[in-house]
Chains A and B, each alone.
Chain A
Amino acid sequence: MRVNRRVVIQFTVYAFHIKLRVDANCLTMRTLKVCAAAASAMSKKPAAQPTLHKVIMVGSGGVGKSALTLQFMYDEFVEDYEPTKADSYRKKVVLDGEEVQIDILDTAGQEDYAAIRDNYFRSGEGFLCVFSITEPESFDATQEFREQILRVKNDENIPFLLVGNKSDLGDKRRVPLDACRERAHAWQVPYVETSAKTRDNVDKVFFDLMREIRSRKSDDSRAANGNVRDKVKRRKIKCAIL
Chain B
Amino acid sequence: MDFESPDVEKDFPGLYASETGRKSNESDFSDGADHEKPSKKDLLGRRKDKKESKKDRGYAALEGESSPEEDTDTKSPSKSKKTKSFKFPSKNKEKREKSRDKEKTVEETIKHKELNEKEKKKEKEREKEREKEKKEKEKREKLKEKDKEKEEKAKFKLESKEKLKDDKKDKVKDKEKEKVKEKEKEKVKEKDKDKKDKKLTKVPSTVTSGVPFEEIFTLGVALPIFGVPLQQSVERSRCHDDTLLPLVVRDSIDFLQAHGLKSNQIYRADPDKIKLQQLRRLFTDRGPTFPYHWDVPVACAMLKAFISELPDSILTQELHGQFEQATAIAEPQREATMVALVAKLPACNHNLLAWLMRHFATVVANEQVNQANIQTITNFMGPALNMSQNLLTYLVAKADKLFPDVSLEKYVPPLLSIPADFPECGEAMRCELRKQESLLNQIHAEMHAGFITPARDQRLWEAQRIVTQLKRKLRSVQKSVEPNALPQQPSVEDKPSEEEPVKETQTNEIVTQADVETIKTPSTDAFQDTKESPNIPDPTFPVEFEDNFNFQTTEIKETPEEEPQPPAEPVKEKPKLTEKELKVLRLELENAEYLQLKSLLQAKINSEQFEIVKLRSHVAIKNKQEGNVQTNKETKESYTAEEQELRQKLIKENAILEQRRLSLVNQIFQERVACVQLKIELAMNEILSKS
A interface residues with partner B (beta carbon < 8 Å): 5, 7-8, 11-12, 15-16, 18-19, 22-23, 26, 30, 33, 36-37, 40-41, 44, 54, 80, 82, 86-90, 103, 105, 112, 115-116, 119-120, 122-123
A26: B residues at CB distance < 8 A: 66, 69
Q: A22-B66, A116-B444, A120-B461 are in contact. List 6 more A-B contacts (CB 8 A).
A: A11-B12, A103-B465, A119-B443, A119-B448, A122-B452, A123-B461
What would 17 A/B residue contacts be, using CB atoms closer than 8 Å? A8-B6, A11-B9, A15-B3, A15-B9, A22-B19, A26-B66, A33-B23, A33-B26, A41-B33, A86-B464, A87-B464, A88-B465, A115-B600, A119-B448, A120-B460, A120-B461, A123-B454
A205 to B448, CA, bound (A): 31
A239 to B12, CA, bound (A): 63
B447: A residues at CB distance < 8 A: 119
**Which of A7, A15, A89, A123 sits near B460, CB closer than 8 Å?**
A123
A23 to B37, CA, bound (A): 23
Chain A residue at smallest Cβ distance from B457: A123
Chain A residue at smallest Cβ distance from B465: A88
Min Cβ gap B601→A in Å is 10
Min Cβ gap B209→A in Å is 16
B634: CB under 8 A from chain A? no
Inter-chain contact A37/B27, CB cutoff 8 Å: yes
Would you list which residues of chain B between 1 and 27 have a CB under 8 Å from chain A? 3-4, 6, 8-9, 11-12, 15, 19, 23, 26-27
A234 to B600, CA, bound (A): 46
B471: A residues at CB distance < 8 A: 87
**Which of A36, A80, A89, A122 sits near B465, CB closer than 8 Å?**
A89
Inter-chain contact A88/B461, CB cutoff 8 Å: yes
Contact status of A15 and B12, CB under 8 A, knowing A37-B34, A54-B461, A119-B444: yes
Inter-chain contact B468/A122, CB cutoff 8 Å: no
Chain A residue at smallest Cβ distance from B498: A85
A10 to B457, CA, bound (A): 48
**Which of A15, A16, A44, A88 sits near B464, CB closer than 8 Å?**
A88
B448: A residues at CB distance < 8 A: 115, 119
B266: CB under 8 A from chain A? no
Min Cβ gap A112→B in Å is 7
A5: B residues at CB distance < 8 A: 6
A24 to B8, CA, bound (A): 20
B31: CB under 8 A from chain A? yes
**Which of B8, B69, B461, B467 sits near A15, CB closer than 8 Å?**
B8
Inter-chain contact A15/B452, CB cutoff 8 Å: no
B317: CB under 8 A from chain A? no
Min Cβ gap B499→A in Å is 10
Inter-chain contact A37/B31, CB cutoff 8 Å: yes
Chain B residue at smallest Cβ distance from A15: B8
Contact status of A12 and B33, CB under 8 A, knowing A23-B65, A88-B461, A120-B460: no
A90: B residues at CB distance < 8 A: 465
A86: B residues at CB distance < 8 A: 464
Inter-chain contact B461/A82, CB cutoff 8 Å: no
A44 to B37, CA, bound (A): 11
Inter-chain contact A115/B464, CB cutoff 8 Å: no
Min Cβ gap B214→A in Å is 14
A18 to B460, CA, bound (A): 40
Would you list which residues of chain B between 454 and 501 have a CB under 8 Å from chain A? 454, 457, 460-461, 464-465, 467-468, 471, 491, 494
B457: A residues at CB distance < 8 A: 122-123
Q: Contact size class for B?
A: 35 or more
Chain B residue at smallest Cβ distance from A112: B596
**Which of B15, B34, B468 sits near A19, CB closer than 8 Å?**
B15
A103 to B3, CA, bound (A): 52
A18 to B33, CA, bound (A): 28
Min Cβ gap A82→B in Å is 7
Chain B residue at smallest Cβ distance from A83: B683
B65: A residues at CB distance < 8 A: 19, 23
Min Cβ gap B178→A in Å is 43
Query: Which has the most chain A C-beta neighbours within 10 Å: B3, B66, B461?
Result: B461
Inter-chain contact B494/A44, CB cutoff 8 Å: no
B37: A residues at CB distance < 8 A: 40
Contact status of A40 and B33, CB under 8 A, knowing A8-B9, A88-B468, A123-B460: yes
B603: CB under 8 A from chain A? yes
B15: A residues at CB distance < 8 A: 15, 18-19, 22
A123: B residues at CB distance < 8 A: 454, 457, 460-461
B604: A residues at CB distance < 8 A: 115
A67 to B167, CA, bound (A): 63
A119 to B445, CA, bound (A): 10
Inter-chain contact A41/B31, CB cutoff 8 Å: yes
B34: A residues at CB distance < 8 A: 36-37, 40-41
Contact status of A8 and B465, CB under 8 A, knowing A33-B26, A82-B494, A115-B448: no
Chain B residue at smallest Cβ distance from A123: B457
B27: A residues at CB distance < 8 A: 37
Query: Which has the most chain B C-beta neighbours within 10 Å: A30, A36, A82, A88?
Result: A88
Chain A residue at smallest Cβ distance from B690: A80
A33 to B24, CA, bound (A): 11
Would you list which residues of chain B between 574 and 600 have a CB under 8 Å from chain A? 596, 600
Lowest 6 A-B CB distances belong to which pairs?
A: A41-B33, A11-B9, A88-B464, A123-B457, A87-B468, A88-B465
A115 to B444, CA, bound (A): 9
A23: B residues at CB distance < 8 A: 65-66
Chain B residue at smallest Cβ distance from A45: B33
A11 to B600, CA, bound (A): 58
- Mask of B522-540 contacts with A, CB within 8 angstroms, 1/0: 0000000000000000000
Min Cβ gap B204→A in Å is 20
B494: A residues at CB distance < 8 A: 82
Inter-chain contact B3/A12, CB cutoff 8 Å: yes
A16 to B37, CA, bound (A): 26
A123 to B443, CA, bound (A): 14
A89 to B600, CA, bound (A): 24
B4: A residues at CB distance < 8 A: 12
Inter-chain contact A105/B464, CB cutoff 8 Å: yes
Inter-chain contact B491/A80, CB cutoff 8 Å: yes
A102 to B6, CA, bound (A): 53
Query: Which has the most chain A C-beta neighbours within 10 Å: B31, B34, B494, B596?
Result: B34
Min Cβ gap B191→A in Å is 34
A8: B residues at CB distance < 8 A: 6, 8-9
Min Cβ gap B47→A in Å is 20
Contact status of A103 and B461, CB under 8 A, knowing A23-B65, A33-B23: yes
Contact status of A16 and B3, CB under 8 A, knowing A37-B34, A119-B448: yes
A19 to B3, CA, bound (A): 11
Min Cβ gap A26→B in Å is 5
A44 to B4, CA, bound (A): 42
Chain B residue at smallest Cβ distance from A43: B33
B66: A residues at CB distance < 8 A: 22-23, 26
Min Cβ gap A78→B in Å is 10
Inter-chain contact A12/B9, CB cutoff 8 Å: yes
A166 to B33, CA, bound (A): 40
A112 to B596, CA, bound (A): 9
